[in-house]
Chain A
Amino acid sequence: MDKTNQNRFMKYLRTDRLPNIFCPGCGNGIVMNSFFNGMERAEIDFDNLALVSGIGCSSRVPGYIKCDSLHTTHGRPIAFATGLKLANPELDVVVFTGDGDAAAIGGNHLIHGARRNINLTVICINNSIYGMTGGQISPTSPTGSYGSTAPFGAVEKPFDLSELTKAAGASYVSRWTTAHPVQLANAIKAGLQNKGFSFIEAVSQCPTYFGRKNKMKTAVTMMQWMKAESITKRRAEKMDATDLEGKIIVGEFQNKKEAEFTEQICKLIGDKCTTGKPSSIKSAFQED
C-alpha cells in the first residue's frame, strides 16, 4: 500500500503546513482523505484541478492541498468558481464549503449554481454548526440541538441540503458521513465524473463545538452516533416520518444527465461571435 512508511495522501499535501490547524478528530481531515481517494479513482489530473473555498474551518481544506486554489470570502466560493469555470472550462473545479458558508450566507449561490447545472463539484462539510466562529447555530442545526446562539436548543427547522440542491436542479446529489469514508469517496468520484452541478454532502463532526454542546465530547462518540443514526435512502423510503426522526438519510439522491451551463455558454459565444471562434469567455475577451 505505502512504500515509504509515509501516508499515501502525503504527496498531495503542503507538508510544510502540517500538522493541520483542525482540532483532534475534526471531520475535515476525513473528508479530505475521501476526496483524494475519489479523485484518484475518477482519474482526475491533479495538475488540472482548482479548489475553491469560502470561509470556515471546512473552507481551510484547500489550503493544505498542493494544487491551484482560491480561498474566497464567506459564502461566495460558488460565485468565484462559476467565473473560474466559465473562463477556463477545461479546469476541474471543486468547491469546499461548510454548512454555514453554503447554506446561510451563500445559500443563494448554492441554489443558483444547482439551477444552472454548471459543471462544479461542491463538497459541503456539514457539521451542523459554525465551527470557526465558536459554535453558533447554522441552517442545518437540528431542532433542539444546542449552540452558543441557542442555549435552550434550536427552535428552527433545519434545511435538508441534499433535498434542497436536488430540488434546485443539481444533476448529481449524494449524502454520506465521515463514518462512511469509502461510500463518501465513491460519491465524490461520481460527482467529479458528472458533467454538471454535483453536490456531495459530507455529514461531519465538530467535536469541539457541536460535540461539546450536545453531549458528545469526543470525535469517537460523534462518529459512533453518525454511524448508528445513518440509514440508507432505500430503507428510509419504506419508513414513516416518525421513525425517521433524528436519522441521517444517506445515499444517492440524484444522478441524471442534463444540459450543462458552461458548454451552452461556450457554444453560444462560438455561434454568435463574428471575429473568429472563441472557445470560452476568456478567449472571447482576449479576442483570440
Chain B
Amino acid sequence: MITINEDLCKECNLCKEFCPLKVYEESKIPNKKGIHVPCPKNEDKCTKCGLCILMCPDQAIAVDDKDED
C-alpha cells in the first residue's frame, strides 16, 4: 500500500513525474494546507521499485510491502 503523509508533502510533483509506471496522479482537491497531494491512482501497477521513496525530498512517501486485500 502507498501512503503519502499530507503533513510533509509540499506538492513538488517529483513522484508524479519520475515514477516509471506513472502510478501517481494529480489530486483535484487541495488539502487543508492548500497542497494538492498526489494520489497513487494506479497503485495496481506499482512494482515497489522504491524510486519515489528515494526521490521524495520530504520523506512523505511510504510503500508498504504487503498489498491490501
Q: Which residues of A contact B8 (CB under 8 A)?
A: 18-19
Interchain CA distance A220-B11 in the complex, whole Å: 11
Determine the main DSSP class of B at the interface with A.
Answer: loop
Interchain CA distance A182-B62 in the complex, whole Å: 17
Question: CB distance A8 to B53 under 8 Å?
Answer: yes
Question: CB distance A33 to B53 under 8 Å?
Answer: yes
Q: Which residues of B contact A27 (CB under 8 A)?
A: 57
Determine the residue in chain A with the shortest Cβ distance to B16: A220
Question: CB distance A2 to B59 under 8 Å?
Answer: no
A238 within 8 A of B: no
Q: Which residues of A contact B14 (CB under 8 A)?
A: 25, 30, 219-220, 223
Interface residue ranges of A10-36 to B (CB < 8 Å): 10, 13, 18-20, 22-30, 32-34
Q: CB within 8 A of A182: which of B54, B56, B64, B65?
A: B54
Please tell me the number of chain A residues within 8 Å of chain B, measured between CB atoms: 37
Q: Which residues of B contact A3 (CB under 8 A)?
A: 64-65
Range, interface on chain B:
20 to 34
Question: CB distance B51 to A181 under 8 Å?
Answer: yes
B49 to chain A, nearest CB (A): 9
- Give the tally of cross-chain contacts (CB within 8 A): 98
Interface residue ranges of A124-180 to B (CB < 8 Å): 178-179
Q: Which residues of B contact A24 (CB under 8 A)?
A: 10-12
B26 within 8 A of A: no
Question: CB distance A37 to B7 under 8 Å?
Answer: no
Question: CB distance B54 to A181 under 8 Å?
Answer: yes
Q: Which residues of B contact A9 (CB under 8 A)?
A: 53, 59
B1 to chain A, nearest CB (A): 7
Question: CB distance B54 to A37 under 8 Å?
Answer: yes
A-B contact pairs, 7 of them (CB 8 A): A1-B53, A1-B64, A7-B5, A18-B59, A19-B58, A20-B58, A30-B54
A residues neighboring B (CB under 8 Å) = 1-10, 13, 18-20, 22-30, 32-34, 37, 178-179, 181-182, 185, 218-220, 223-224
- Beyond A18-B8, A218-B12, 15 additional pairs, beta carbon < 8 A: A1-B63, A2-B62, A6-B3, A9-B53, A9-B59, A18-B58, A19-B8, A23-B10, A24-B12, A29-B59, A30-B57, A33-B54, A33-B59, A178-B55, A223-B14
Closest 7 CB pairs between A and B? A29-B57, A25-B12, A24-B10, A181-B54, A5-B3, A2-B62, A24-B12
